[in-house]
A = this chain, B = another copy of it.
Amino acid sequence: MEKKFEELKKRLHEIYYLQSVMSVLTWDQNTYLPPAGANARGSHFAVLGKIAHEKQTDPKLGKLIEELIPWTKNLPYDSDEAALVRLAKREYEKAVRLPTPFVAELNEHLAKTYQVWVEARAENQFAKVEPYLEKTLELSRAYAEFFPGYEHIADPLIAESDYGMKASAIRKIFRELREELVPLVEQVTSQPEADLSFLHQHYPKERQLEFSRYIAGRLGLDQKRARIDLSPHPFMIRFSHGDIRITTRVDEQNLADCLFSVIHETGHALYELGIDPSYEGTPLYDGISSGVHESQSRLWENIVGRSRDFWEYFYPQLQAVFPAQLSQVSLDEFYRGINHVKRSLIRTEADELTYNLHVIIRFELELALLEGELRIKDLPEAWRSRYQSDLGVTPPDEKRGVLQDVHWYAGLIGGAFQGYTLGNILSAQFFEAALKAHPDIPNQIKQGNFTTLHDWLKENIYRYGSKYTAEEIVQRATGSSLTIQPYMNYLRKKYKELYRIT
């Protein structure tokens, strides 16, 4: 049976490295690809995607897994071998449910839709991409139908990024969160607005990059195993245990953009870098879910990187890099500036507090579309009216409205957004558990020392990769299921102090 297990690992290796080659192609596409190389890049993906899909759905792989299942019954649930077979089974069963022609049609449609969206957004014309989005909705429903027996039609789509989560559960969590968030946002935004102009002076590109790299290194990003490049939209991508790439962008008129993007992506990278190296080459070497992954980017970006403790240590260094811009700005002004709350139109520019309201709107619109309660042609209006009611702002055009995010125009509808807010919630839940185990962490952060926090996260989350489900990881690390209370406690404490609300 060990021989069969080795054969399974060999097959999984091939799939893992093919996927990781596709990651190299994706990274290059977003960083260095010359414009005229785009077409051939499509062919690279098509050729590799076809080969990977053949290997993922090879009946010999399925047979091997079936033969190994009885063997794993005698292994402890916690054994890596049992976990690997479990995960391989889940992924194989998913892969074989999707017919190859459907996958090909979907990929072609999404590539085309993305192109049209780029134009539609530039021209501020939802109508241009509307028929494509209609088709995306159809394909999203068709996708779900390959997984019959669901409770809500969005569930198979949500399972793609947050396996184990269901629309009903997320709805409940988001309803609770919204109820507590809305009055807090009310209180905070009724305070006078801060002057943020100091963040929008001229900050030279090279110095921004250098300082961001320095911070990433201090947070634990190992330069032998990771690098930072430029791309239009920041992201993190893994090629292997020893090779993680993050990207950022630099706006010379906005100090916060590059810096917090780098901290955010560093959070994602620390997760992937922290996975047990023995999992390399198997599906265990992967972050477990969108929610848990975002919890790490948001924990490092917001809970650590936008804390007063953090800047107590680093602000003098930042001032030394930008003396002309910052020598007259106090630590408190800076801290308030990077945490300023304001109802706004654009999700990616939103503050920590209103961010979730953007996500919840999108999540609920997705469900309404899938349920047939909302038609694509009514989506722009639904978007406007939800922004008006939930955020008190109305998009003056579609590019600042329904056309702003790439997700629906490059992927399926359903499951695209919930991970961001699940991640925010979990970031505080994990941080609370870490603090309980090590109450000294805030003091260490004040000294620019992140070792204890990093080690706790690695020990309790990172190293497991995809060995456990997200629910199991949350339970093991925090002793309870996902709950919004640590997050609301964190937000209330931070923002009531910041805005001097009693």
Contact = CB atoms under 8 A, between A and B. Distances in A.
Interface of A: 13-14, 17-18, 20-21, 24-25, 28, 32-41, 43-44, 46-48, 51, 222-227, 229, 239-243, 280-281
A37 B229 contact: no
A349 B134 CA distance: 62
Contacts of A25: 21, 24
Contact of A17 (B14, B35, B43, B239): B43
A35 B38 CA distance: 28
**Which of A37, A240, A242 gathers the greatest number of chain B CB atoms within 10 Å?**
A37
Contacts of A222: 36
Nearest to A226: B34
B241 A34 contact: no
Contacts of A239: 37, 40-41, 44
A474 B281 CA distance: 48
Contacts of A35: 224, 242
Given A32-B229, A37-B243, A41-B240, 5 more contacts: A13-B47, A17-B46, A20-B40, A34-B243, A40-B240
Count of this chain's copies in the oligomeric assembly: 2
Contacts of A14: 47
Nearest to A47: B17
19 contacts: A13-B43, A14-B47, A17-B43, A17-B44, A17-B46, A18-B47, A24-B24, A24-B25, A24-B28, A34-B224, A34-B226, A34-B227, A37-B225, A39-B240, A39-B242, A40-B242, A41-B239, A43-B240, A51-B51
Given A20-B40, A40-B20, A34 B229 contact: no
Contacts of A33: 243
A217 to B, nearest CB: 13
Given A32-B227, A281-B43, A242 B38 contact: yes
A258 to B, nearest CB: 19
**Which of A222, A240, A281 gathers the greatest number of chain B CB atoms within 10 Å?**
A240
A38 B241 CA distance: 10
Contacts of A32: 227, 229
A47 B25 CA distance: 15
B21 A48 contact: yes
B40 A24 contact: no
Given A21-B48, A25-B24, A242 B43 contact: no
A393 to B, nearest CB: 39
A39 B277 CA distance: 12
A73 to B, nearest CB: 31
A179 B17 CA distance: 53
Contacts of A224: 34-36
A38 B33 CA distance: 22
Contact of A40 (B39, B48, B51, B280): B280
Contacts of A24: 24-25, 28, 44
A33 B35 CA distance: 22
